[in-house]
Amino acid sequence: MAIAAIFIHAFGWGIGLLPLPYLFGAELFPTRIRSVGGALSASFHWLFYFAITKATPAMLTAMNGWGLFAFFAAWCAIAWVYGFIMIPETAGRSLESINALFDLKWYEIRKNAYPTDEDLMAPIVTQATPLSNAENGDVRQFAGDLMLEGKSESEHREYSP
């Protein structure tokens, strides 16, 4: 029964809270420090996981079962309040919009947590900008297309062992 509980815990942890430090590191840190922020986030995640694993048996002996439950429940409540106030919704926002959001004061983040319609609107292109090549009079119809002259289509093949 204990082994089944360990597997259930590992499965729930893997699809639940485990990916959060990595997702937050990828989305919430400004672009200039994203790699350092992600590394610190992952490091603190595993440091706290190690500390909890080492401290739980001693805490269970000292506090009894309900005391340890209350301790972790209090930390969960603090984390929920922090997340509610300080972690905004980032769905549909650009990285620059997220950076601008975190440039606000801590108490203004909650007011601007959910993106407005204008934050989510993509720019609408009504007319393509022609590109012209002055040397040979070649006019390309859309500036966004990448045209590689002198190259034929390549075929991508993957060989697995």
pLDDT tens per residue, range 97-150: 777 777 888 778 777 777 776 666 555 545 545 555 545 555 444 444 444 444
Q: Has residue 153 been placed in a domain?
A: no
Q: Has residue 28 been placed in a domain?
A: yes
Half-sphere exposure of 155 (CA within 13 A, CB side): 2
What's residue 143's pLDDT? 42
Residues 110, 83: Cα–Cα separation, whole Å: 10
What's residue 136's pLDDT? 52
Q: Has residue 77 been placed in a domain?
A: yes
Q: Has residue 120 been placed in a domain?
A: no
What's residue 98's pLDDT? 76
Report how many domains make up the chain.
Answer: 1
Q: Could you read off the pLDDT of 19-30 as tens digits, one per residue?
A: 877 877 777 777
Q: Has residue 110 been placed in a domain?
A: no
Q: How sure is the predictor about 73, in pLDDT bands with cuts at 50, 70 and 90?
A: very high
Q: Has residue 63 been placed in a domain?
A: yes
Produce one character per residue of 31-65: b if its CB has 16 or more CB atoms within 10 Å, e if not. Answer: eeeeeebbeebeeebeeeeeeeeeeeeeeeeeeee
Q: Has residue 128 been placed in a domain?
A: no
Residue 31: domain span: 2-87
